Structures are given as C-alpha cells and as structure tokens.
Amino acid sequence: MKAAIRHLRRNRGRTILTLLAVLIPVYFLVSMFGLTNSIVSDMFETATRIDTGHFQIRHIERRGMGAAIPLMHDSKSVLAALDKIDGIEWRTVRLDMPALASAGDRSQAVYVQGVIPEEIAPISSIRDLVVKGTYLKNGQNGAVIGEELAALLNVGVGDQIVLLGAHPETGLGALKVPVVGIYRAPISAMGRTVIHTTLTTARRLARSPNAATAVVVRVSGVTGPWDVGKIEAVTAQLKGLLPDDVEVLDWRKLAPQVSGYMAILRPVMIIFAAIFFGLGALVVLNTLYLSVMERTRELGLIIALGASRWRVMGMILTEAGLITVIGAVCGALIGVALAWIVEALGGIPLPGAELADYMKVVGMKPVLHMMISWPQVVISAAAMVGVAVLAAWFPAYRASKLEPVEAMRYVE
Amino acid sequence: MSNSKALIQTIDLHKTYKTEAVETPALNGVSIELHVGEFTAVAGPSGSGKSTLLHLLGGLDRPTSGEIFLEGVALSGLSKDQLARLRMTNIGFVFQAYNLIPVLTVLENTAFVLELQGVVRAERIKRARKILAELGIEQYADQYPSRISGGEQQRVAVARAVVAEPSIVLADEPTANLDTATSHELIDLMRRLNEEKGATFLFATHDSRLLDRVSRLITIVDGLITEDEKKHDPSAE
C-alpha cells in the first residue's frame, strides 16, 4: 500500500488524470440522478396531488364508456373499507365526467371533477392555485376553471358558464354555473380542460344523486414515485374488504405519462452511466497501461526477486483501487455538495419564458432542483470503482505475465 | 573444487534465442558444478553467453535443452510460480543496473525479499538494518535510491541479495558501472561476505578487478566453457 501511494505521488500528472477519469463520471451521474429525481418527483407530485392521488378505487372498467369513468353508487362501503386499514393519509369521493363548457358562442370540451371542497385540500393543491376569486365552498353551486379555459371562453369570476354533461350511464345533463374562481394550472392542458365543481353540482350534472367515479386516496409517508412499496402495502390490506364490483388503480395506471417517463428514464440513465463509465474505464486502462509500460524494468526486477504473478497483479490493482476509490469518493462528494448548494440557493431557475412554459406543459416546475438519493450516490461510486478496477485488470495481468529477463532489458 | 555435493549442477545446457527469422545460439552445451562457499566468476567476451548462463542458473529463463539442478532440485520440473518461489528463497540477485525499486527506501529495498517471504515487519526491519550496518550503509536506510550514488546503490543491492541468506548470490556485471575505487570497495565487501558468512557468489563479468579476486574462474567463449580454473580456495584458509 505504501509503495502504491508513492507510485501515485511519483507520477502526479497521470495520477490526477486517472483521478479525474473516475471523479467526473461519478460527479456527473450523482448530479444527473439528483436532477432526474427532482424532475420525476415534480411530475409525481403534480399528478398525484392534483389528479390521481396515490391510488383510486373505482367501479370495474366497462366497455363502451368512451372517456367516461363508470359510476359507483355505493361509495360509502368503499370508505368503510378504507377506515378499517392503516396507512391512509386522506381520502375523498370524487365524480369525474366529460362535459362541454360553453359561454356565449364559445365552447370547449372539458372534464368536470366534482369534489368535496373541505376534503380536497390535502389531496389536491388546486385550492392553492386559485389566482382570481375563491375556491369552492361546501354545497356551493359554482365552478373553478383554469386561466386557459377562462381565456378560451372569454369569462371571468362571476360570469356564468353552461356545462353540458354526457355520461353513457345517465344520459345528458345540463347546468348553468357561475365561475367562482380561476386557477393557474401547473400543466397547460389541465388549465384548458379541468373544471372543479362541488360533488353535489357534479351529481346534478350526472343526474344521479349518489354517484361517484372514484374514491381518491393518499398514503402516509410516500415521498416520491420510488415509494411504490408503501402504496402496495396499503392496497394489499384492502383485499377482501372492498365490494366485488370495484377495483384499485394506483398512480402508475392513472398517470401513465409519469410512470412512462420513469420507465424511459431508467434505460437512459443506464446508457449515460455506461458511456461515462466506459470513458472513465478507458482512461484508467490507458494510464495504468502506460504506467506498467514505464515500469517494465522495475516490475521485471520485482518478478526476478521472486514476487509471484498474483503479487504483481495485486500491486497494480492496489494502485488502481486506491486511486479509483479516492476519485469516486471525491466525485460523489462534489456531486452531493453541488446539490446542497443548489438547494440552499432555492434551485436553478430556467432561463427564458418559453422554456418555463414548456416545463409547465409537461407538469414540471420552471426551477430545477437536485434531490440526492444516498443509495444512488453509493451505487454510482461503487459501480465506477468496480468498472475502473476491472479496466485495471488488463494492465495488471500484462504486468504479471512479464518475463523477468526481457522486462529488465526493456528500454523505454 | 570441493568434493562436497554440488549446490548447482548443469548438464549439457543449451540455450538458443529465436526470432521469426533467426536462431541465435547463446549456450552450446555447458556442464558445470558449483559448490557451497565458492566465489566464482564466469568470464568471457561480450556475447559469449555468461549472462545467459546466470539467468538460467537463477531460474529467470529456461534452457532450450539440458538440465539444471539447484540443491538437487531439477529446475525444468518447476512451474513459473515454483521458480519464483525458488528465486525468492534460494537465490540472491545483483544486477548491473536498475537494481533497486525507486519508490522504496534503502531499508525497504533491503527488506523487500523478506517481505516477499512473509517475514513479519519487525523481524525484516531488524535483519535489514543489521545487514546494512554490516555493509556500512546504515546511514542511508531512510534514503530513496535516487538520493545515493551508484556505488552505494550496488551495496544496497548486495545487502538485499544476502539479507535472506540465500543458497547462492548471482551477480551479473555488478561492477560494470562503477569507478575503480568503488568497484574495489564493492568487491571487498562481497569477498568479506563470502569469507565471513560463507556466502556463495557467482559473477558474470569481464572486469579484471573482480576476476583477480575470485577463487574460481570459468571462461566461456561462444557458449562453451573453455577453461575452469581454481585460483584460490577460501575454505582452505
């Protein structure tokens, strides 16, 4: 070990190059993981807070429903089942249905979400997004619409809009409701299409006084899309407690765009990691190989004095292990430190209104955050060390195979 | 020559170096015996095969044909790892140049073979310091090779060669790069180790300063022994 340290100190330029070859991939990966964790977490929070919850209990899918969700007429038995199990943070009943919103000669296809205002706050952040007027109150006949829809229909707070509901099970229903609030949606498509009314109003639109389409549930302690196990643990408790005609759908099925993004992200990160690690490994291989070439006579002497080939390999691999561990630890620490600095500064605001608008379209905040996951940091560093030591195997093997007489005659 | 059992015996040793187009014979049938306590030189002009002979005797290379016995063990039957172990335990080497490991201190270089043998640190440091003191170079123990002269480096190489008390020390042109005074000092040192400790030395050299001091002189020309002259028997003193 002492000799390995001295060799590394003797060839400082090469040592620094090898160190950087390991440090930079680890630093990049840790930073990229931090950014993607934050992006995925943003998308997950947007989807689960505003729309899907962590899971929903719905009537089993029926054919011929189009964009409509089948109606449940006995949501009380579902709520009773949820009251019997642990791990529920909040739940509420909702009635979602497609409709046509119109004002004057303008109209827009929308999706009405009938909610219980006093229950919706912990599940949906839409109450906090209201920028004009107020959010709904219990029993109030009114609608909260997005800025985009308000612009499309050319209406403001206090104006009336007509909702024409069409559910395959109940037929057409029409209501005139005043706009009580306008919200700023995190996703522009949402602002154009999602209208909140009270559950009572939505039931009138659906012409069914007990109807609901879902019981929306949030699970305690879920911090991001990676906490699938906690959600599954809760839904597993529901087996046998729910009526036969309902099913449990978790956020992955309800927000396939988020789970789809995550599914794409994994292979992308693996490809990035492979490229970074591959480049790092090539530099490690190259520098160590050069080092072995330079030290051919010295290694020949060591072999001549009786060192076994395993010992010679061990010497080279010890050097490689030492430098790669130092490089990987430094890379990980720099990545973590950068994340801390970014978070301390409140994130990195994206430059330009267009980019911010695009982020909004895909459901992300226009400020980049870095969310560090320690298992990812450790795995990134350990994987780089593993790959680098593997790359060092070839020069180490070559060193162990040197013929002492030829090696000692070697002239650089 | 002693009548005792041979420390090293070679039988009809041949070595031919082959490249793609050319075969170059280096040894053409060398049969010798070396005995414990001898202070022997193999002399001859450049390219005569003396270094090749040393390399073969030291298990650093393998003969094309013929056999070498070290303390009765046939080297041809040993694997690479077994040969490495044999070199580590039975043979001390002094080379013409590039003798020391540059990142190790004089003390660590001296103790290196003991480290390979698995001797515990305290013991190997003690033994290395002792031999350095005996050879008068203890003051350089903590110096790196680059900080001491060529003559001092060769002394350290001799210290390393004898510290593990091998059966034989093989020295390939040990004085070739040294000035006259330093050469004499080194030769005196090795002679003293031979006489006082009974260390067996075999040199490949054409340095007359060294040839004058050996007890047995084997002359080799074109890969064949032309003369084997007993000059002085230290054990008879």
Going residue by residue through chain B, which has 237 residues, state the pLDDT in tens, using 9 for 90 and above: 444 578 899 999 999 988 878 888 889 999 999 999 888 999 988 888 988 999 999 998 999 999 999 988 999 889 988 999 999 999 999 888 767 988 899 999 999 999 999 999 999 999 999 989 988 889 999 999 999 988 889 889 989 988 888 889 999 888 887 788 878 888 888 888 888 888 899 988 888 888 888 889 999 999 999 988 887 544 444
**Residues B164/B132, Cβ–Cβ less than 8 Å:** no
Contacts of B112 in chain A (CB under 8 A): 302, 305
CA distances from B143 to A149, A198, B101, B146, B215 (A): 83, 87, 12, 8, 35
Residue B82 structural domain? 8-236
Contacts of B126 (CB under 8 A, 6+ apart): none
Segment holding A396, helix H or strand E: helix A374-400
SS3 label, residue A194: strand
Residue in the block written with tokens 């450049």: B46
Q: Are strands A106-115 and A171-183 parallel, antiparallel or unpaired?
A: unpaired
The rounded distance, in Å, linking the Cα atoms of B139 and A2 is 22
- Residue B69 has phi, psi (to 5 degrees) of -115, 130
B32 in a domain, yes or no? Answer: yes
A31 in a domain, yes or no? Answer: yes
**Average pLDDT taken over every residue of chain A:** 86
Distance from CA of A227 to the nearest CA of B (A): 52
What is the rounded average pLDDT of the residues A12-22? 86
Q: Which of A302, A308, A309 sits opposite B101 (nearest CB)?
A: A302
The rounded distance, in Å, linking the Cα atoms of A352 and A358 is 10
- At residue A4, does pLDDT exceed 80? no
Residue A145 structural domain? 55-221
Q: Which of A40, A37, A17 is nearest to A29 (CA)?
A: A37
CA distances from A247 to A233, A253, B119 (A): 16, 12, 72
B2 in a domain, yes or no? Answer: no
B3 in a domain, yes or no? Answer: no
SS3 label, residue A120: helix
What chain A residue is nearest to B52 in terms of C-alpha separation? A405
A247 in a domain, yes or no? Answer: no
What is the rounded average pLDDT of the residues A85-96? 90
A133 in a domain, yes or no? Answer: yes
Find the farthest-apart pair of alpha carbons in chain A and give their distance in angstroms, rounded. 98
A327, A389: one domain: yes
Q: Which of B98, B104, B116 sits opposite A307 (nearest CB)?
A: B116
CA A96 to centroid of chain Cα atoms: 26
The neighbour count for residue B103, using CB atoms within 10 Å, is 21
A280, A204: one domain: no
A193, A303: one domain: no
What's the domain count of chain B?
Answer: 1
Give the tens place of pLDDT for each residue, A196-211.
999 999 999 988 888 8
Q: Which residues pair with A97 in a beta bridge?
A: A112
- pLDDT recorded at residue B235: 44
Helices (H), A121-207: 147-153, 188-193, 199-206
**pLDDT > 70 in chain A, percent:** 94
What's the domain count of chain A?
Answer: 2
Q: Which of A21, A34, A28, A4 is nearest to A387 (CA)?
A: A21
- pLDDT recorded at residue B237: 47
What pLDDT band is residue A219 in, cutting at 50, 70 and 90? very high
**Residues B201/B194, Cβ–Cβ less than 8 Å:** yes
Residues 23-82 of B with CB under 8 A from A: 55, 58, 60-61, 80-81
CA A178 to centroid of chain Cα atoms: 37
- Residue B183, domain CATH: 3.40.50.300
Q: What is the DSSP letter of A48?
A: I
Q: Which residues pair with B78 in a beta bridge?
A: none
The rounded distance, in Å, linking the Cα atoms of B167 and B185 is 23
A278, A339: one domain: yes
- pLDDT recorded at residue B74: 92
Higher confidence at residue A66 or residue A243?
Answer: A243
